[in-house]
Chain A
Amino acid sequence: MAKLIQLYRSSVGKKFLMAASGIVLFGFVLGHMLGNLKLYLGPESLNRYAEWLREIGYPALPHSGFLWLFRLVVLGAVGLHILAATQLTLLNRRARPVDYRGRQVVEADYASRTMRWGGVIIALFVLYHLAHFTLGPSWAHPDFVPGDVYHNVVVGFQVPWVAGFYILANIALGFHLYHGLWSMFQSLGVDGESRQGWRRNFAVAFAWIIALANISFPVAVLTGIVS
């Protein structure tokens, strides 16, 4: 523990822990996306999957026990990720108090430059997403039926601006994942032969896969492929 605190004290350590928490979050969005693909297999499949999530470990664990445990881990990772990012941002502002008149960006790509705001957008989106599909108050969802995930999704995405917001948020997620995944290797100290090599390919591939799959859900509902 003492070592962990010592690690966290340094910016190198904060980045390391951001990468570690990033792996958890990456695992979560990947699993979330894979589970949601059941949307294409019909209501039964998706709803049963949702039910199964609550039943994992039962009866060894209480109902939803695993799910809550899992949520706590994800929540912890989110918290750590945001805390470290905030502290690093403040540190970096202090380290570069005066900017140049018209700094030239030489190499940094769009994704890397939008990590902070991208992160904020994703965080806000997640809050909305929880309200929309998990809690379902009437301001967030027009016809929320607890347990009927398929219904909630299809009805929810029939509102065009909501679907649009989802699409935009997932584009942001794609960018965030691309730079995040690539950075993860750097922060964890995995240096490859070349940055244009597998580390980059990995980041590009998963950023596309997750963003495209997630975007496909609202698109499928809007175009009537799923109804």
Chain B
Amino acid sequence: MRLKLQIWRQENGEAGGQFVTYELADASPEMSFLEMLDVLNEQLTERGEEPVAFEHDCREGICGSCGMMINGQAHGPMAGTATCQLHMRHFQDGDEIRIEPWRSAAFPVLKDLVVDRAPLDRIIESGGYISVNTGSARDANEILVPKPAADRAMDAAECIGCGACVAQCPNGAGQLFTSAKISHLGLLPQGQPERDRRVKRMVETMEDYFGSCSNYRECEAVCPKGISIDFIARMNRDYVKALIRGE
């Protein structure tokens, strides 16, 4: 396959950036998207040009490291697929592909396609856990969790924290990410004692960095794990309830 790649190049956080166009003559349909970029980087290095920096790690769609806007869509054109799991067979010979970093005030660009997603960690740190010290747990089967609740919690817990929801949202909102963690823990009996405190603290941290939800549903559409925006409704309800209860 022959491809024309327009890639955002930016030296560091302070520098300005621009799109640079590269021709790639020998992509193959079996390659993953990141392998295609690997091939480009090999060629750039051999030509003495700095390779394109992009975040990636497990390349199995689970670590959440990778992520880029591919033709204006987070993680590219395939639904339910992280960038590393996107394969070139979904592109045509001769295609022009535009690759940009996640854009959000909360995610400053560090280099090329690499952004800083630290605010996602800040949200978890502010309450995305159940406070239980090691060793203080009782026997696992003493806590009964109805299967539907466990399954629903798992649906939410599948979030990989890639930030595509923020990247795709025209408002740069972090609601899908935040609500997924709040719902995961809030749906389980273990999560009840801290439920109000958790939602209040996490929402308030989220508000420090991200935009608001306009119910565009863009986040859900690009989420590699198909996390549902129903969790956002759930978070909204929990938040208002928590405020009313006044914890």
What residues make up the interface of A, taking CB atoms closer than 8 Å to B?
A: 3, 6-7, 10-16, 88, 91-92, 94-108, 112-113, 115, 179, 182-183, 185-192, 195
Contacts and interface: CB of A to CB of B under 8 A. Distances in A.
Given A16-B236, A100-B69, A100-B100, A106 B222 contact: yes
Interface of B: 19, 69, 71-73, 98, 100, 103-106, 168-173, 203-204, 207, 209-218, 220-222, 229-240, 243-244, 246
A84 to B, nearest CB: 10
B105 A96 contact: yes
Contact of B246 (A3, A99, A189): A3
B233 A92 contact: no
B171 A96 contact: yes
B237 to A, nearest CB: 2
Contacts of B236: 12, 15-16, 186-189
Nearest to A14: B212
14 contacts: A3-B243, A7-B243, A10-B203, A10-B207, A91-B211, A92-B172, A92-B214, A96-B171, A98-B103, A100-B69, A101-B72, A112-B215, A113-B170, A189-B233
A51 B245 CA distance: 45
B120 to A, nearest CB: 14
Contacts of B170: 92, 96, 103, 108, 113
B221 A107 contact: yes
A97 B216 contact: no
Contacts of A107: 216-218, 220-221
Given A15-B213, A95-B172, A105 B233 contact: no
Contacts of A190: 233, 237
Given A92-B172, A101-B72, A11 B211 contact: yes
Nearest to B103: A98
A3 B244 contact: yes
A15 B232 CA distance: 12
A12 B169 CA distance: 16
Given A7-B240, A95-B104, A97-B105, A183 B215 contact: yes
Contacts of B98: 101-102
B96 to A, nearest CB: 11
Given A107-B217, A186-B213, A186-B215, 8 more contacts: A92-B212, A95-B106, A100-B72, A102-B71, A104-B72, A107-B221, A189-B237, A192-B230
